[in-house]
Amino acid sequence: MQVLDRVRKTAFLGREFLLWLWFMSDTGEGVFDLGEKGKAEIWLDGKITLQSETDRGLETVTCAGEDVSMKEARFALAEEKEIREAAIKLAVGDNEWSFVLDSAWMNFRSFKTPRVINDGREDPDGLFYEKAFLIEEAVSAVDQIYSAFLKRRLSPEWESQDRAVIGRWIREGGTGSAKQRQETDI
Amino acid sequence: MGLMRGAAAFTRYMAEKKLPDGFMEGLSENMARYAFRDLDEQSMDERSAGWVNIMDMFDSRFEGLEFLKEPYIAISLRIDERKIPSTALRQYAKQAEEKIKEEEHLEFLSRNRREDVREAVRLRLLKRAIPVARTYDMIWNTLTGLVIFGCVRPRICDEFAHRFYLTFGMQLEALCPYTLGELHLGRDEASPELMDGLSPTRFLEDH
């Protein structure tokens, strides 16, 4: 298989990774061991964009809000929409990053590092090294977490356990939202 | 987009982990060759692109090897573009057409003539247009091969990868879920081809 074919045929891995991250953080499993670097906590925060392909073309839903449970987005998941991108927070030790992660190319947008100590006026190289370190630290943490996802995804447990558990979580989210809609309507 | 200040957006690539023999020897020369050059005020060029100092977008001389920040190579791609607002072009072209019609006692101008007038007006306005400058930072960790480029727009990313190849003589591989998987599975001595057998998970199908 050519590289581009492989890239196209496995694009769903990015969407499933974001879904898995959401599921893990929502069920209290969003802490990952990074080895020497300690532990990383990751969670979805504030904004999520989902998409599905229908007979009428692409349908996109963007949900934003303070509510961490993001009920409307969970409802969209239950409607078989997939995550295109999500706002994420990452914490390693005392440092916290925020960014939007895209599922197709795993690009980072709206990426904010923790506050840097060096403002660059007196020591431009100091600012450079501090920023480079903070960018690489976040990228490396996300990659390690992606690697953990991939190992799980390739294991027999994905089909025998995770598919059902995540499926149930998706259904519960959809039902919760539908129920809340009904209550609001009343 | 800047990686050094404010919120950033970036694409990731992998370059060769091992730098080719003699890599440093021709580096200064190549950097100078592909460095940014100002748009000449008298020229009709609409665009200029090239490398600048990551900490100072007005410095493209690289006299002190500022791009070497061991173990990184760090530079910015600067792109200056002169653009004429479309409404201004329409307005000035219309005025020019009216003037010609009046001077030559014509009721209307042919399509070819109108196009010539529009091009002449565009070139006249281009000289008055102030270039808009944008910079996109790049940090290349030469130990790990990771290249972070501060842009997610495909057209700019393609231009960056091409310019990187011209300057450093190396092809970049864009990272995506598959290529990232290749890297990590390879490190764990698992076969990346395992991913070829995967298909999307049907979470909502009966179990």
Query: In this complex, do A135 and B179 lie within 8 Å of one another by their Cβ atoms?
Result: no
Share of chain A above pLDDT 90, in %: 50
The beta-carbon neighbor of B204 closest among A1, A150, A170 is A170
Query: What is the per-residue pLDDT across B44-93, written as a single tens digit (0 to 9) for each?
Result: 888 999 999 998 899 998 888 889 999 999 999 999 999 898 999 999 99
State pTM to two decimals.
0.86
The per-residue pLDDT for A140 is 95
A158 touches chain B (CB under 8 A): yes
Residues 6 or more apart in contact with residue B190 via CB below 8 angstroms: A154
Query: What is the per-residue pLDDT across A6-27, written as a single tens digit (0 to 9) for each?
Result: 777 888 999 999 999 999 998 8
Query: What is the per-residue pLDDT across A120-145, written as a single tens digit (0 to 9) for each?
Result: 677 778 889 999 999 999 999 999 99
The beta-carbon neighbor of A13 closest among B10, B181, B205 is B181
> Domains of chain B: which residue ranges?
11-81+133-197, 86-128
Question: In angstroms, rounded to a whole number, what is the distance separating the alpha carbons of residues B163 and B159?
Answer: 6
pLDDT greater at residue B2 or residue A120: B2
Query: In this complex, do A131 and B207 lie within 8 Å of one another by their Cβ atoms?
Result: no
Which positions in chain B touch A136 (Cβ < 8 Å)? 141, 146, 148
ipTM given for this complex: 0.85
What is the enclosing helix (H) or strand (E) of B124? helix B111-128
Domain containing residue A137: 3-185
Mean model confidence pLDDT for chain B: 90
The conformation of residue A66, written as its DSSP 8-state character, comes to S
Is the confidence at residue B147, as pLDDT, over 90?
Answer: yes
Which positions in chain B touch A11 (Cβ < 8 Å)? 176-178
Contact B20, B154 (CB under 8 A): no
The per-residue pLDDT for A32 is 93
Query: In this complex, do A109 and B185 lie within 8 Å of one another by their Cβ atoms?
Result: no
Banded pLDDT at B1 (limits 50, 70, 90): low
Q: Calculate mean pLDDT across residues A47-51.
A: 91
Residues 6 or more apart in contact with residue B26 via CB below 8 angstroms: none
Place of tokens 């990452």: A90
Domain total in chain A: 1
Nearest CA to A121 out of B56, B61, B77 is that of B56
DSSP string, B25-78: TTHHHHHHHTB--PPPTTS---EEEEEEETTBTT----TT-TTEETTEEEEEEE
The beta-carbon neighbor of A131 closest among B4, B11, B176 is B4
